[in-house]
């Protein structure tokens, strides 16, 4: 059922072992005074979980759910102030952690969280309780008590509170009930559809704190698909080759990284090999899931798959039947080329507040259209407001924000969840996200600009690693651009321009001219008001650690605006 890597070896756990562990853990938690009472959300016991993905993560999750305790998963990268806020807001009773750093972090706020009784660790470490202590000496009577309590848990009870990363102000706790999550799991599985193939394997590396990966994990469990837990984000390439999964979930940023790696390898080829590589890439760029192309194109693509794309599939374990991506918009050219290479990537969409899936490109004929987030899954009703805002109604819509009836009333009106995303329906069935309502801005000329489509288009250039559009209340649109340093270095080498540091490179007149020309070429895709007039090159990449990205790798626009204020000021001088 679950397989984690310990001391360099994959250690499988059978369904029987997992079920036994979960039940013992539930019994142990009851003995600690956790759970066992169905009541209002405020009175339910809260358990914090801060850990990388591993079998224990989902075992603790299930153990809490069946005794009526609320799991509050928190990103390991959450800063100390937010951590203290979440622990106190949720009145966390016990915390479960993995790794020494996270333990230290939680330990440092312990004295300022009156409700926190104990900190347990999944790894044995000094100062923390070891999680297995909880279920030592569990008797048959203790296990019988678990069964009794399990029968009293209602579908409408709160199962989890997920604090959203708070790109705007303090984190908000999204309350999801058992029904919210289970309905999304069942409707998602049926709509997609997921296979019940025995021996199918998935690789889990997106943070389980994110409802997308967690809900997908429930679908895998429900479908009998084994879950292998990657050791870390850094080990994914190696884990893919060892596990050879049939399926995994990802975010566009990671697909971009895979693609960039392949393209930079392709650039080093010579002669006929290089010609063949770019011929295959060109075929891939023309691929369309709804229009298969003429016989000539199909024959060439089959040949490209035999000669070139087979190596791409090898890099992913050569077994991938489908990949699901979400969390942010995926570039259409990536969807075209991966699908052409027989690596099917399906883009889906939904906020945490909807447990999360609203729509997804599906595996049946006509179920996928590039550039959209697919058909709405069954069980969900979707309507578009006059301004294009996407609203959803159905069993997956959250209970509300914890202790924030004011915010709940703003988000849910007459049962409809207002997502804050703007969209349209293409061909009457495929939902397409055009922007975030909050991210739209007005220039000083009163014209609205949607940054995401401009950023996604320009990121198609191999020289653009990351980008953020600016220009609220200004005369024109500007951009902060993080160059793709390996590609820029290679270009400088070819032009005999010495490379010393990234800092120097971004100020070199010839490099600035390269980006000027590049922006000019992309501006032709946009109307006058959306065209980038001036830009600043930023020498260092934006990351979660340095604070510019959320844990799901979305831009924290406010943080970037603040951090690179001088650069933005130079654009508008």
Please write the tens of the pLDDT for every residue from 76-87: 988 898 899 999
- Of residues 169 and 251, more confidence is placed in 251
pLDDT confidence of 328, banded at 50, 70, 90?
A: confident
Strands (E), 115-197: 118-121, 129-130, 158-163, 173-177
Tens of pLDDT, residue by residue over 332-378, are 999 999 999 999 999 999 999 999 999 999 999 999 999 999 999 99
Among residues 387, 402, 381, the alpha carbon closest in space to that of 437 is found at: 387
pLDDT reported for residue 79: 84
pLDDT tens by residue, 421-434: 999 999 999 999 98
Q: Is the predicted pLDDT of residue 195 greater than 90, yes or no?
A: no
- Identify the pLDDT of residue 166: 53
pLDDT in tens, 534-558: 999 999 999 988 999 988 788 999 9
Handedness of CA 435, 163, 229, 367 (dihedral sign): negative
* pLDDT value of residue 468: 97
Contact 363, 436 (CB under 8 A): no
Using only the alpha carbons of the chain, give its radius of gyration: 25
pLDDT for residue 384? 97
Q: Give the whole-angstrom CA distance, residue 354 versus residue 412.
A: 11
Is the pLDDT assigned to residue 168 strictly greater than 60?
no
Kindly list the distances between the CA atom of residue 358 and the CA atoms of 99, 160, 179, 311, 352, in Å, as whole numbers in the listed order: 35, 19, 15, 34, 10
Q: Which domains, from first to last, does the chain contain? A: 2-153 (3.40.50.980), 178-381 (3.40.50.980), 440-571 (3.30.300.30)
Residue 477 confidence (pLDDT) above 60:
yes
pLDDT(149) > 90: yes
């Amino acid at each position: 059922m679950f397989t984690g890597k310990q001391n360099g070896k994959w250690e499988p756990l059978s369904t029987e072992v997992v079920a036994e562990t979960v039940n013992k853990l539930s019994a142990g938690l009851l003995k600690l005074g956790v759970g066992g009472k169905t009541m209002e959300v405020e009175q339910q016991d809260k358990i914090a979980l801060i850990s990388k993905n591993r079998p224990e993560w989902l075992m603790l999750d299930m153990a809490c759910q069946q005794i009526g305790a609320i799991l509050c998963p928190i990103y390991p990268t959450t800063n100390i102030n937010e951590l203290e806020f979440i622990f106190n807001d949720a009145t966390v009773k016990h915390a479960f952690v993995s790794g020494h750093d996270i333990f230290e972090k939680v330990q440092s706020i312990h004295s300022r969280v009156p409700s926190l009784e104990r900190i347990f660790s999944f790894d044995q470490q000094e100062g923390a309780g070891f999680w297995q202590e909880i279920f030592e000496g569990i008797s048959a009577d203790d296990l019988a008590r678990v069964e009794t309590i399990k029968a009293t848990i209602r579908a409408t009870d709160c199962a989890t509170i997920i604090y959203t990363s708070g790109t705007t102000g303090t984190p908000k706790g999204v309350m999801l009930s058992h029904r919210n999550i289970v309905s999304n799991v069942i409707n998602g599985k049926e709509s997609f559809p997921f296979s019940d193939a025995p021996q199918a394997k998935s690789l889990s590396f997106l943070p389980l704190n994110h409802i997308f990966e967690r809900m997908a994990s429930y679908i895998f469990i429900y479908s009998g698909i084994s879950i292998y837990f990657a050791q870390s984000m850094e080990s994914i390439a190696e884990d893919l080759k060892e596990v050879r999964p049939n399926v995994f979930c990802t975010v566009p940023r990671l697909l971009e990284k895979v693609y960039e790696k392949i393209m930079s390898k392709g650039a080093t080829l010579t002669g006929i090999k290089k010609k063949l590589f770019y011929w295959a890439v060109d075929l891939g760029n023309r691929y369309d899931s709804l229009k298969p192309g003429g016989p000539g194109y199909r024959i060439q693509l089959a040949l490209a798959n035999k000669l070139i794309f087979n190596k791409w599939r090898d890099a992913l374990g050569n077994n991938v039947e489908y990949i699901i991506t979400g969390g942010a918009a995926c570039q259409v050219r990536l969807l075209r080329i991966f699908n052409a290479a027989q690596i099917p990537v399906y883009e889906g969409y939904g906020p945490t507040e909807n447990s999360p899936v609203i729509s997804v490109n599906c595996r049946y004929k006509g179920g996928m259209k590039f550039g959209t987030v697919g058909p709405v899954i069954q069980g969900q009703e979707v309507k578009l407001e006059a301004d294009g805002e996407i609203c959803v109604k159905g069993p997956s819509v959250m209970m509300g924000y914890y202790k924030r009836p004011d915010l709940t009333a703003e988000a849910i009106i007459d049962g409809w969840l207002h997502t804050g995303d703007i969209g349209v329906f293409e061909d009457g069935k495929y939902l397409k996200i055009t922007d975030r309502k909050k991210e739209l801005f007005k220039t000083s000329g009163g014209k609205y600009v949607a940054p995401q489509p401009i950023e996604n288009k320009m990121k198609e250039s191999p020289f653009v690693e990351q980008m953020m559009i600016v220009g609220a209340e200004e005369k024109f649109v500007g951009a902060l651009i993080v160059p793709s340093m390996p590609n820029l270095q290679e270009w400088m080498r070819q032009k005999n321009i010495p490379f010393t540091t990234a800092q120097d490179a971004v100020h070199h007149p010839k490099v600035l001219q390269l980006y000027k020309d590049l922006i000019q070429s992309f501006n032709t895709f946009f109307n006058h008001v959306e065209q980038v007039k001036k830009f600043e090159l930023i020498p260092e990449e934006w990351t979660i650690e340095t604070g510019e990205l959320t844990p799901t790798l979305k831009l924290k626009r406010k943080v970037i605006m603040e951090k690179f204020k001088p650069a933005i000021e130079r654009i508008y001088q």
